[in-house]
């Protein structure tokens, strides 16, 4: 990590949450400049000569007064050039017949850098990021104004940055007026998000390595929590073990961890994490890290005391079998919702076999059938740079067929909330919530479980829990 602090080495200033080499001492995977260039090329080759593509960076968020939340740039901007700093905008336009990828960034500023940290600045951005030209974000009005004056279509998602919206609207208006004189314009606006989403939906080999690395650290974090579990441990303490492990390994959480014990495990997006766990309870932990912009999303459910009760085991095994059947359905050419249908059939059959449902399989699966009382969510979602990643599930209204390189989660569950009054909760299973979630790559060799390092068989779990308290 030496040499990370001199401005003479702008490449080293990539050392942030989004530059892999610093966080892993060069051992972790990373995205090469040539891959960024190929992403840009694939996007730009679908555009017209007089288009201007704008990708707006995320705004900063205030936590309290002058304290801000840790900054994370927009996934689209990260995807196209890896730029991680606040106050940025990517602009792509044709200059002399060639696409030029230009980035607005914060300029070097000695006072700001003394207080807040070093900036690559314009020179650093041009030298060390896969772009053709850098501009100061302070010159946005004039430089973007000039870019807008010479294009006929702007591809931009509006509503993200008031200043950018204003400049685009001004250009639209003045071009509209000029039309009377010259017959030229006006500018049209298109949201480029769907084009970028199509690219992001299919992961490259390098992206898969990034996701595997996030899954590896996340799986180990779950194991650490299992090992340290004991009667009375707080949900927040399990959260701290897991998120501390992420941070120790140069990663951050991809979404706030869900740690729910007993009845809290039946709340799908529980986040209070403030109850002490009892040894006879099952805890559900849904936690995944983010590595240089790539997410993992893993859920495991296991008994704090290290032994499932018979009733907990019954539900666990039904969910586990359903999850395995759903993973088997993640194959090239299958509709994206095939895993969901496979999981639902197994869960419904499990409820019938346990006597929780007295309906026929078809009735239990039907709208308003018994399965819906205990399983209320979908079985998965795309995952990538966003934990709930981009990509249309039903283009033209038809389910998308899975392709090599797509990655989705598989996460069936059953939830018997003791506190529910809208249904009759079967007493034997009241207070049990089980979800099992893995991240699965669709490949021509069949499904690949990226999070396979995280144990999920009953015996494996029972052999790990509480071994290092």
Residue 389 binds which entry of ligand GLY, Mn ion, none, CB below 5-8 Å type-dependent: none
User: Among the options 66, 310, 398, 459, which is catalytic?
Assistant: 66
Shortest Å, Cβ 297 to ligand GLY? 5
**Is 403 designated active site?**
no
Among 73, 264, 289, 409, binds Mn ion (CB under 5 A): 409
Please say if 420 is a catalytic residue.
no
393 forms part of the interface with ligand GLY (CB under 6 A) = no
Which listed residue (102, 437, 438, 462) is catalytic?
A: 437
Q: How far is CA 227 from CA 116, 176, 300, 317, in A?
A: 38, 66, 13, 21
Q: Which helix (H) or strand (E) holds 245?
A: helix 235-248
Out of 377, 400, 420, 428, pick the active-site residue: 377
Q: Does 438 bind ligand GLY (CB under 6 A)?
A: no
Concatenated DSSP letters for 255-293?
SPPEEEEGGGGGSTT------B--TTSEEEEEE-EEETT
Looking at residues 284 to 343 of the shown chain, list those that interact with Mn ion (rule: CB under 5 A).
Answer: 286, 297, 299
Which of 85, 297, 314, 439 is in the footprint of ligand GLY by CB under 6 A?
297
Backbone φ, ψ for residue 382 (5° rounding): -65, 150
Q: How far apart are CA 462 and CA 226, in angstroms?
A: 9
Residue 222 known to be catalytic: no
The minimum distance between CB 17 and Mn ion, in angstroms, equals 21
- Which stretches of 1-57 are DSSP H helices? 20-23, 33-44
Considering 281, 286, 337, 462, which one is annotated as catalytic? 286
What's the distance, CA 379 to chain centroid?
16
**CB 315 to Mn ion: min, Å:** 18
Considering the complex, state which of residue 106 and residue 289 has its C-beta at the smaller distance from ligand GLY: 289
CB-wise, 161 or 411, nearer to ligand GLY?
411
Per-residue b or e along 405-444, where b marks 16 or more CB atoms closer than 10 Å to that residue's CB: bbbbbbbbbbbbbeeeeeeebbeebebbbbbbbbbbbbbe
Helix (H) or strand (E) holding 105: strand 98-105
Residue 462 binding target from Mn ion, ligand GLY, none, CB below 5 to 8 Å by type: none
Q: Name the segment binding Mn ion (CB under 5 A); options: 31-39, 170-178, 359-367, 430-438.
A: 430-438
Catalytic annotation on 286?
yes
Which residue, 158 or 378, is less far from ligand GLY as judged by CB?
Answer: 378
CB of 435 within 8 A of CB of 410?
Answer: no
Binding window for Mn ion (CB under 5 A); candidates: 20-28, 259-267, 307-315, 429-437: 429-437
* Residue 344 falls in the annotated catalytic set: no
CA atoms within 13 A on the CB side of 294: 30
- Give the phi and the psi of residue 409 in degrees, each rounded to 5: -90, 155
Closest separation in Å from C-beta 278 to ligand GLY: 24
Active site residue 280: no
Nearest approach, Cβ of 299 to Mn ion (angstroms)? 5
| 135 belongs to the catalytic site | no
Out of 85, 161, 411, 438, the active site residue is 411
Residue 255 binds: one of ligand GLY, Mn ion, none (C-beta under 5 to 8 A by kind): ligand GLY
- How many whole angstroms from its chain centre is CA 118? 27
Active-site option among 39, 84, 381, 389: 381
3-state secondary structure of 22: helix
CA–CA gap between residue 350 and residue 77 (Å, rounded): 45
Report the chain's C-alpha Rg in angstroms.
Answer: 25
**Residue 288 has which token pair?**
């995944």
For Mn ion, the closer of residues 99 and 375 by Cβ is 375
Query: Does residue 286 belong to the site contacting ligand GLY (CB under 6 A)?
Result: yes
Binding-site string for ligand GLY from residue 235 to residue 274, where x marks contact by CB under 6 A and - marks none = --------------------x-------------------
Question: What is the distance between the alpha carbons of residues 308 and 407, in angstroms, rounded to a whole number?
Answer: 31
Active site residue 321: no
Evaluate whether 59 touches 100 at the Cβ level (below 8 Å). Answer: no
SS3 of 353, please? helix
Catalytic residue among 375, 435, 439, 462: 435
Alpha-carbon distance of 293 to 57, in angstroms, equals 14
Q: Is 297 among the catalytic positions?
A: yes
Where do contacts with Mn ion occur on this chain (CB under 5 A)?
Answer: 286, 297, 299, 409, 437
Residues that bind ligand GLY (CB under 6 A): 255, 286, 297, 387, 411, 437
Residue numbers annotated as active site: 66, 269, 286, 297, 377, 381, 388, 411, 415, 435, 437
């Amino acid at each position: 990590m030496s040499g990370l602090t001199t401005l003479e080495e702008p490449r080293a200033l990539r050392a942030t949450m989004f530059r892999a080499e610093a966080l892993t001492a060069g051992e972790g995977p990373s995205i090469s400049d040539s891959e960024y260039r190929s992403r840009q090329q694939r996007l730009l080759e679908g555009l017209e000569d007089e288009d201007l593509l704008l990708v707006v960076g995320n705004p900063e968020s205030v936590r309290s007064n002058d304290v801000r939340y840790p900054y994370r740039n927009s996934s689209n901007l990260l995807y196209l050039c890896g730029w991680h700093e606040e106050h940025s905008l990517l602009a792509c336009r044709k200059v002399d017949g060639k696409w030029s990828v230009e980035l607005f960034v914060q300029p070097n500023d000695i006072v700001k850098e003394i207080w807040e940290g070093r900036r690559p600045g314009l020179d650093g951005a041009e030298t060390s990021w896969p772009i053709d030209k850098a501009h100061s974000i302070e010159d946005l009005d004039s430089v973007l104004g000039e870019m807008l004056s010479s294009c006929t279509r702007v591809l931009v998602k509006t509503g993200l940055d008031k200043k950018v919206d204003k400049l685009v609207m001004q250009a639209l208006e003045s071009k509209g007026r000029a039309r009377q004189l010259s017959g030229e314009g006006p500018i049209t606006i298109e949201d480029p998000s769907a084009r970028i989403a199509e690219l992001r939906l299919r992961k490259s080999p390098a992206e898969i390595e990034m996701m595997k690395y996030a899954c590896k650290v996340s799986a180990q974090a779950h194991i650490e929590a299992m090992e340290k579990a004991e009667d009375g441990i707080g949900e927040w303490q399990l959260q701290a073990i897991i998120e501390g492990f992420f941070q120790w390994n140069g990663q951050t959480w991809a979404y706030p961890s869900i740690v729910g014990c007993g009845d809290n495990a039946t709340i799908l997006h529980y986040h209070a994490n403030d109850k002490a766990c009892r040894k006879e309870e099952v805890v559900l932990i849904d936690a995944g890290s983010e590595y240089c912009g790539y997410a993992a999303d893993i859920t495991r459910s296991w008994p704090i005391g290290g032994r499932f009760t018979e009733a907990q085991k019954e539900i666990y095994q039904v969910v586990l079998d359903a999850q395995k059947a759903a993973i088997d359905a993640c194959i090239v050419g299958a509709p994206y919702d095939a895993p969901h249908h496979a999981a639902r059939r197994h869960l419904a059959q499990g409820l019938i076999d346990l006597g929780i449902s007295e309906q026929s399989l078809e009735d239990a699966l039907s709208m308003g059938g018994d399965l819906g009382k205990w399983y209320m969510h979908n079985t998965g979602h795309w995952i990538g740079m966003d934990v709930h990643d981009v990509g249309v599930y039903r283009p033209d209204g038809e389910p998308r067929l899975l392709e090599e390189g797509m990655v989705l989660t598989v996460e069936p569950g059953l939830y018997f909330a003791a506190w529910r009054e809208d249904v009759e909760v079967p007493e034997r299973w009241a207070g049990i919530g089980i979800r099992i979630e893995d991240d699965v790559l669709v490949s021509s060799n069949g499904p690949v479980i990226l999070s396979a390092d995280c144990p999920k068989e009953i015996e494996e779990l029972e052999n790990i829990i509480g071994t290092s308290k």
